[in-house]
Structure 1
Amino acid sequence: MASIDSFTASVESAVNGFFDPVSTFMTDLIFAEVTVFGVSFPWIVAWLVVAGAVFSLVFGFVQIHKIKLAADLVRGKHDEGGAGEVNHFQALTSAVSGTVGLGNIAGVAVAVTIGGPGATFWMILCGLLGMATKFVECTLGVKYRDEHEDGTVSGGPMHYLHKGLAERGLGGLGKVLAVLASVCLLFFGLFGGNMFQSNQSYAQLKSVTGGDNGLLGSSAGALGFGLLIAAFAAMVLIGGMRSIGRVTSRLVPAMAGMYIVACLVVILVNITQLPAAFASIVEGAFAPQGVAGGVIGVLIIGFQRAAFSNEAGLGSAPIAHSAVKTRHPVTEGLVSMLEPFIDTVVICTMTALTIVIASTPSWDKAREAAAAGGSPEGVTLTSDAFATVMPWFPYVLTFAVLLFAFSTIITWGYYGLKAWTYLFGRSRASETTFKVVYCLFTVLGAMLTLGALLNLADAVLFALAVVNIVGLYLLAPVVKKELASFLAHLRHKEAAQKGALQEAPEPEAV
């Protein structure tokens, strides 16, 4: 075992040493901070939030006016079939599985600790704005997807940037942006969506089984865990999007439901404190109780957490949504609006309420640490909040983390595959090569902590947002036409149904 430990340590040192300069450059560039009213924040957050605000205005706050229609589409209403591989519900759960994860459990706790309960208010607002961005990018994902002879489809930013911008006379720009989008997706898929998930889920499982001295504390334990996760991932990925859709349509509702029920248990046990918790969230949004530097500081903390959580504008979700069976691209754009709602408005808010209501001693210590400039441990705070009511829940939370991580791994495996085939061609050999490489990275993720590469992966993912949102602005008129066309179709269909009812003969009296 010592030889394995020595080998992994040498590999980590070599890889981190090679990528550290690139990682530092990209991180400093993408997450460079600007200062507004004395508060500093990453400019990329503003880029994402402004896009959500612009698209909300351009489309008349479609996320509010058409939310019922979106829910009807998920339930199968107005379903007219069409090319594709999965239904609306499966496409939604597949995309949600790529966003719901450790960020909802740990990241929210950090945001509430640093920004106070008021950060929750701004998380909700940012989640609502992100719904409009998702609507635009996922409509385009279906509009410009490629439909293959075997019934499968390929969609995502690389396709709508390439074909959509070509339609507008910007073919050269579209090709460049499409290649950049594919490279970003592939890089993050291998490292952030795969290795990081494997690494963190192994670390969480090891911590509840005795740490370094426990069952999984050895290198053999890490290798075994990585091989097991890779094997499960391979079985799902071999089946393609249909297989992923079947798994996530069961896994996502189950794990999200379990997590929400646990939050509700903590809230109900402390129900008398609920009004005060809501009051602290609203008051804290405008009269901050955190250490983030006034109202603007709390706003930025909330926006940052929400933007990083729901991935609206990053271009990843349109790949999953593009696989839907539909004749009208905008239907999936409407369905995709529910994704930031579930991820940020529901799950992140439930996490924040649980932490605020439980008000554990560890939260008090975390706030003191944040005030002193330290970094609080997010997942510990969330776990301690549940433990106030259910002492055994940290073990269930570990199981939830494993499910969240696994669902993210398989979804990003699909995203990475589509980026890979766009760059290197779509053939059985090409796809098999990617799947083997991807599963190998899953195993390595459990054994290696490649800090420089993981930091670089985060920077690359948000670089994708720059590329993607430029395309969304240029292609927004296409989405407006698609929305108007579908709404006219629904009005015509409703009128025809009413006419048929009116022309139906009266039943004869018995």
Structure 2
Amino acid sequence: MAKRCASLLLTLFLPLLAFAQDPAVQADLETPSGPTIDEKIQSVFEPVTRVVEGIVFYPVTIAGFEIPFVLPWLIIGALVFTVYMGFINVTAVKHALDVVRGKYDDPDDQGEVSHFQALTAALSGTVGVGNIAGVAFAVALGGPGATFWMIIAGLLGMTSKFVECTLGLMYRDVHADGSVSGGPMYYLDKGLREKGPGWAVLGKVLAGMFSIACIGGSFGGGNMVQINQATQQLTEVTGGVDSFFYGRGWIFGVAMALTVGLIILGGIKSIAKVTDKVVPFMVGVYVLGALVVLGYHFTDIPAAFGTILDGAFNADALYGGIIGVLIQGFRRAAFSNEAGVGSASIAHSAAKTDEPVSEGVVALLEPFIDTVVICTMTALVIIITNYGGYGAEAAFNNKVSGTVGDITLTSAAFESVISWFPVVLSFAVILFALSTMISWSYYGLKAWTYLFGESKINEAIYKILFCIFVVIGSAISASAVFDFGDAMIFAMCFPNVAGLYILMPNVRRALRSYRSRIASGEIARYD
């Protein structure tokens, strides 16, 4: 099967190579007689994207400020879950670390991957270019104070992750071959069905809405956005306009598509075998680089935190004072760690455990690692090296010119201390992009098979489409496509959080039972 799919991928991509090398095509690219491919794609996607964004980011007025409804939807949900679950984001951290280390592993439990592999697979879907480019955007546009609200969002998001990933295990499907399917589409469908016929219809509708948004998000934000930023960084460090990849990003896209294709053919087990090595390595490299920069500016760290706190609560701050800064912080954090979006529960559903709560407590570590640690370090590097452009005039000019918040801003901040780090960052970004893409391919695949049925043919169709979108994402610069992908990821949170409200009593009952059995020794600990 793997050889046949790899052969099919090559069959699809080789004509692209031949087409691009055709002299007539190259001449048209060099002297275009009409709209470019990017412009054509932009014109098709732009009206669709505006409609989707208008729904997903529908503005509501709070305290005189217009705020996208998706933000209070996520924030209020995270607050409610945190209080309802007794601040488990604080009380269960030590136990979560024990579970990740295998202290409670039972080899006879059902599932496909270990707790640690499920954690790294889910982390690989959230730790991506959003931690680098997205944080740059938040700091440049919202000011240093946005960092504070990113941290708060990360801490609250820990509970959202706990609730959705616990439900993912509670309502997963374990197939005859031992493979697993789970996630919001399953707990929305099966969980609400338990409440009666009327609820069953609602569950089907919410599950369908989630699946459609998840597939769109997997092709866009989980794929094309990632490969596009990786291609941009690779082009930048290999010479910019003089780079071999300038105007030829599709070559890198084909190579990445083949790599992704070979990895995802083996399913979650194959993905987990890659992520449990790549994620710790890439996070370690990135954090080490950030520590070097922060160490170089060690004496400026207290002032940087002072700037962050001042900006977070300064009514005269950039773009609408406290509310404006809060919006930027929460928005970028939500996109970075995806707490409340429901994507991570798809990966965690494959964990080898018969205790749903144990996987839920593992999942709550993700927003802490992703947002509280990695995003905060990125923001500190930008602020301390003064590459944030967070003066009101500078940020406004950057926003107008379209230069704000891309990956080159973070790269420049690192380069100011480590001259050769952009090369390392480029390598790290490629790994970030690769790991995010392979995880999102799994998320989209499970949503796809939920809608169209579990079969080898349906799986192959989705995987081939996903790899094609990798090539497209590397070659185009149509912003509407990337905006569409981002909007679809946020759209996932509407049906997901609605389901979490309905099903959270089930989670609290399971949590109380789990803690009671841990305390009594009924759940064995293996030291």
Query: How many pairs align?
Result: 493
Deviation at 1:371, TM superposition (A): 4.0
1:22 pairs with 2:51? no
Kept in 1: contact 2:82–2:159 (CA 8 A): yes
SS of the residue 2:521 aligns to: helix
SS of the residue 2:245 aligns to: coil
SS of the residue 1:216 aligns to: coil
Deviation at 1:75, TM superposition (A): 0.9
CA distance in 2 between counterparts of 1:140 and 1:315 reads 10
1:467 pairs with 2:495? yes
Letter in 1 for 2:489: L
CA distance in 1 between counterparts of 2:201 and 2:345 reads 22
CA distance in 1 between counterparts of 2:524 and 2:297 reads 53
CA distance in 1 between counterparts of 2:38 and 2:320 reads 38
Kept in 1: contact 2:231–2:252 (CA 8 A): yes
CA distance in 1 between counterparts of 2:468 and 2:78 reads 37
Residues 301 and 437 of structure 1: is their aligned pair in 2 closer, same or farther, counting only changes over 3 Å?
Answer: closer
SS of the residue 1:76 aligns to: coil
Residue 201 of structure 2, aligned match among 153, 172, 178: 172
Deviation at 1:494, TM superposition (A): 6.9
Structure 2 counterparts to residues 255-404 of structure 1, below 5 A: 255-287=282-314, 290-360=317-387, 363-364=388-389, 368-372=393-397, 374=400, 375=402, 376-404=404-432
Residue 162 of structure 1, aligned match among 189, 202, 205: 189
1:210 pairs with 2:235? no
Deviation at 1:367, TM superposition (A): 5.2
Deviation at 1:13, TM superposition (A): 4.2
Deviation at 1:284, TM superposition (A): 2.4
CA-atom RMSD in angstroms:
2.1
SS of the residue 1:324 aligns to: coil
Query: Unpaired runs of 5+ in structure 1?
Result: 498-510
Kept in 2: contact 1:115–1:288 (CA 8 A): no
Deviation at 1:480, TM superposition (A): 0.8
- 1:500 counterpart residue number: none
* Most deviating of 394-403 and 438-447: 438-447
- 2:158 counterpart residue number: 131
- 2:12 counterpart residue number: none
Deviation at 1:463, TM superposition (A): 1.6
- 2:469 counterpart residue number: 441
SS of the residue 1:149 aligns to: coil
Kept in 2: contact 1:96–1:339 (CA 8 A): yes
- 1:75 counterpart residue number: 101
CA distance in 2 between counterparts of 1:440 and 1:181 reads 23
Query: Unpaired runs of 5+ in structure 2?
Result: 1-20
Deviation at 1:130, TM superposition (A): 0.6
CA distance in 2 between counterparts of 1:481 and 1:411 reads 30
Letter in 1 for 2:479: G
Kept in 2: contact 1:108–1:378 (CA 8 A): no
Q: TM-score scaled to structure 1, two decimals?
A: 0.92
- 1:40 counterpart residue number: 66
- 2:9 counterpart residue number: none
1:423 pairs with 2:444? no
Residues 15 and 214 of structure 1: is their aligned pair in 2 closer, same or farther, counting only changes over 3 Å?
Answer: closer
Deviation at 1:216, TM superposition (A): 1.3
Deviation at 1:418, TM superposition (A): 0.7
Kept in 2: contact 1:8–1:448 (CA 8 A): no
Structure 2 counterparts to residues 245-260 of structure 1, below 5 A: 245-260=272-287
1:88 pairs with 2:110? no
CA distance in 2 between counterparts of 1:198 and 1:7 reads 28
- 1:196 counterpart residue number: 225
Deviation at 1:288, TM superposition (A): 5.7
SS of the residue 1:78 aligns to: coil
CA distance in 2 between counterparts of 1:206 and 1:139 reads 42
Q: Deviations over 1:461-484 (max 9, x none)?
A: 212111111111000011011111
Letter in 2 for 1:314: V
Q: Deviations over 1:166-219 (max 9, x none)?
A: 01121111111111111111111122211222222112211222234321124x
SS of the residue 1:244 aligns to: helix
CA distance in 1 between counterparts of 2:436 and 2:149 reads 25
Q: TM-score scaled to structure 2, two decimals?
A: 0.89
1:453 pairs with 2:475? no
Kept in 2: contact 1:164–1:475 (CA 8 A): yes
Residues 365 and 348 of structure 1: is their aligned pair in 2 closer, same or farther, counting only changes over 3 Å?
Answer: closer
